[in-house]
């Protein structure tokens, strides 16, 4: 399983698309935080915080993570190497988990360079260090869990088709629905206790909760459950080929 995990990471980093995905993520976030005259611009806003990063990053992830995961199983199916992979001394679940954790590792690779933004804002504060570090680290944890959920959804989308474009589009739609769909239902259709319950089914509600800097076990259980559900759905999709 570890060998497959390393193979997946190397396959991504040895291709040009791997670096393009990471570069696009950093470039888009960097432009909005430091260059474009928008509400997220740290220098124009005049306050030492990274709220813009954690508001923008999920929307960028909506497209970048499906771009990472679209090849996971779709490419294996199209090239005919999936059957060969299944003959290895690994269970279907081990293969899925290797691809899943490789996807999470790539999300981490994308997030690590953004620590430069944290250091910059930390030093730009008046006095230096005048920022809510607890909320920032909570937001990083929330963003990591959000990314992990998107990876699980993306791998599932890749397992149901042998076309990478279809996999990408399906993953974007599913990720967008789980991130914003329940929130929109709550905002425009339902209200009261039923509406709040529907809202709690969405990723955005739990991401915002963790971003406050307080790690609630209910939020952790939610993110773990979302990833588990889509990993099991992926397993079901892969096993259905044997029927």
Residues sharing a CB contact under 8 Å with residue 21, sequence separation 6 or more, in sequence order: 64, 67, 68, 106, 110
**Of the candidates 135, 173, 175, 131, the residue with the CA atom closest to the CA atom of residue 152:** 175
Segment 85-130, tens digit of pLDDT: 777 778 889 999 999 999 999 999 999 999 998 888 888 777 777 7
Q: What is the pLDDT of residues 119-164, one digit of tens each?
A: 888 887 777 777 778 888 889 999 999 999 999 999 999 999 989 9
Reported as a pLDDT band with limits 50, 70 and 90, residue 46 is: low
Residues 95 and 177: beta-carbon distance below 8 Å: no
Pull the structure tokens for residue 15: 């291709």
Stretch 216-228: mean pLDDT: 94
Domains of the chain by residue range: 2-242
Q: Is the pTM of this model over 0.75?
A: yes
Give rounded-to-5 percent helix, strand, coil for the chain: 80, 0, 20
CA distance 163 to 227: 23
Cα 225 to Cα 148: distance, rounded to the nearest angstrom: 11
Cα–Cα distance measured from residue 216 to residue 221, given in angstroms and rounded to the nearest whole number: 9
Chain position carrying tokens 């739990």: 206
């Amino acid at each position: 399983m570890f060998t497959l995990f390393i193979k997946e990471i190397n396959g991504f980093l040895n291709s040009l698309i791997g670096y393009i995905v990471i570069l696009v993520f950093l470039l888009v976030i960097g432009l909005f935080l430091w260059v474009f005259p928008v509400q997220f611009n740290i220098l124009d806003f005049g306050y030492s915080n990274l709220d813009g990063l954690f508001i923008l990053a999920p929307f960028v992830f909506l497209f970048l993570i499906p771009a990472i995961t679209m090849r996971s199983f779709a490419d294996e199916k199209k090239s005919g190497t999936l059957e060969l992979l299944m003959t290895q001394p690994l269970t279907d679940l081990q293969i899925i988990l290797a691809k899943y954790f490789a996807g999470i590792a790539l999300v981490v690779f994308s997030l690590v360079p953004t620590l430069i933004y944290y250091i910059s804002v930390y030093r730009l504060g008046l006095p230096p260090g005048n920022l809510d570090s607890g909320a920032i680290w909570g937001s990083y944890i929330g963003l990591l869990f959000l990314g992990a959920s998107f990876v699980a959804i993306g791998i599932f989308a890749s397992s149901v088709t042998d076309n990478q474009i279809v996999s990408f589009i399906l993953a974007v739609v599913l990720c967008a629905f789980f991130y914003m769909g329940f929130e929109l239902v709550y905002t425009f259709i339902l209200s009261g206790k039923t509406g709040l319950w529907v809202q709690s089914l969405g990723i955005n509600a739990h991401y915002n909760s963790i971003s406050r800097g307080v790690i609630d076990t209910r939020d952790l259980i939610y993110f773990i459950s979302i990833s588990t559900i889509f990993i099991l759905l992926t397993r079901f999709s892969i096993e259905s080929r044997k029927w």
